[in-house]
Amino acid sequence: MRKINVFDTTLRDGEQSPGVNLNFEEKMQIAKQLERLGVDIIEAGFPAASEGDFQSVKTIAETVKGSSVTGLSRSIKKEIDASWEALKGGAEPRLHVFIATSPIHMTHKLRMTPDQVIENAVDSVKYAKQRFPHVQWSAEDACRSDLDFLVKIIEKVIDAGAEVINLPDTVGFITQEEIRHMFTYIRENVPNSDKAIFSTHCHDDLGMATANSLAAIEAGAGQVEGTINGIGERAGNASLEEIAVALKIRNDFYKAETGLTLNEIKRTSALVSKLTGMVVPKNKAVVGDNAFAHEAGIHQDGVLKEKTTYEIITPDLVGVASNNLVLGKHSGRHAFKEKILALGYNATEEELNKVFKAFKSLADKKKEVTDEDIFALMTEEKAGEAVKYYEVEALQVNYGTNNIPTATITMRNPQDELVQEAATGSGSVEAVYNTLGRIIGGEAHLKDYRIQSITGGRDALAEVFVKVEYEGHETTGRGTAHDVLEASAKAYINAVNRVMNRKNWTKQETDKIHL
């Protein structure tokens, strides 16, 4: 079996999805889970894009040791320098440097001649190799580039030191037959192609990202790039979980495999979905809730007699547990700790104590606490590690069909004082948000509000996702609680705290510069 390297760009290309705004703690959670999943390379961000991105990439590189951590850079020396400063503390520092090669990009975006692009690409790779032991070079918009020009520039960047050559379908334009031809042509015509690994990075604008990625692997690609759940710019990227499982199930055809721990796929998908607020469609291949559901009578009959009649992927292959150990109010701390470890969390004693307390509180209200509930509690605790400027202490809502909804909230403010306010609204959620607006001294304009249950049943945990604009910043927030209104309040305050954290961090960085 040929080994295909997995290059995950959930934290870079995935975070560029419209509406996605991950904070540092959330990025770190995803990075650790990607390491657990077994991805070979984690693209942690674009270090030169902002100080926040730089610090996130730097910390992830210094923390993650089981995967190679990389950062993206344009063919600009100061961006390569910034990437080195962010990545040099990693176990295997790696740079991903790119420049566009299609006529439309060279003419209208870069305003450079083909010879100038070649010179720039070669100089950038040589410069990067002075620092980085591993350099990947990408031909942006390769799939709309002239093949003979690609042959020419690729030969030169390999001579300059590039070990991986990425040929991305930047706009999701290519077809399977065309991408197979492109990879075959380039590998056969670049004289030194044996000195590099060829990588594929496909976008899903025409719904063909996964199929195109697999076609590239057929044609000799040794690395595949994508994101968890296929998130990313515009219509997104190739779904890494789909590619990995396709290679596993159809290894008779592809004769290739990844090194992913496949039973971590469902947990990774759920974490990315929860932290980005991008819900996985029920009919999504591999990780959707309906992926292993059978409703038609003839299908149910067949599966009961022999699973392989209608089920080519077993649930346990991707980590969908069929016999969850259910905890309740009589479960002890030891059983709870074992469950946390079984779910893949390496919790500190402090974290364990906080989540156990939350678990006990939930167990008093809910007969059975499932894996999904505990996952939600643990995720919320991890995501809440940033400074909390505001924290809800108590909430009461009066509502009746003939009464005006009124919310009374007691909250701890940044000065650690308890503040109580009340306000009305046309509905209960509006009353809660009007009250919170009074306490924080400025309304956060609500741009999106979504609610879903963590599990089924009347006693399910509620999860609320909001997008707000507060003090000139647009951000997202999440809240989980047994009560819908409590979850709504938590989500609103989580968003406000994110803005406060960002503003405080920016001020600290500005003070450093002035010093």
pLDDT digit string, tens, across residues 199-235: 999 999 999 999 999 999 999 999 999 999 999 999 9
Torsion of Cα atoms, 25 then 29 then 30 then 33, to 10°: 170
Q: Is the pLDDT of residue 512 over 70?
A: no
Please give the angle made by the CA atoms of 316, 263 and 336, to the nearest 5 degrees: 90
- Domains with residue ranges and CATH for the chain: 2-276 (3.20.20.70), 292-317 (no CATH), 333-383 (no CATH), 391-512 (3.30.160.270)
Q: Is the pLDDT of residue 85 over 90?
A: yes
pLDDT of residue 471: 86
pLDDT of residue 452: 87
| pTM assigned to the model | 0.84
In angstroms, what CA-CA distances link 100 with 13, 115, 125, 357? 16, 13, 14, 53
Q: Is the pLDDT of residue 397 over 90?
A: yes
pLDDT of residue 459: 78
Spell out the residues 6+ positions from residue 74 whose beta carbon is closer than 8 angstroms to its own. Answer: 48, 97, 98, 99
Q: Is the pLDDT of residue 511 over 70?
A: no
pLDDT digit string, tens, across residues 399-432: 988 889 999 999 999 898 999 999 999 999 999 9
pLDDT digit string, tens, across residues 132-164: 999 999 999 999 999 999 999 999 999 999 999
Contact 61, 87 (CB under 8 A): yes
Please give the angle made by the CA atoms of 444, 446 and 447, to the nearest 5 degrees: 135
pLDDT of residue 302: 59
Residue (of 243, 247, 249) closest to 314 by Cα position:
249
The pLDDT mean for the chain works out to: 89
- CA within 13 Å, CB half, 418: 5
pLDDT digit string, tens, across residues 431-447: 999 999 999 987 789 99
pLDDT digit string, tens, across residues 18-33: 878 888 888 999 999 9
Q: Is the pLDDT of residue 476 over 50?
A: yes
Sorting pLDDT into bands at 50, 70 and 90, what band is 498? confident
pLDDT of residue 120: 98
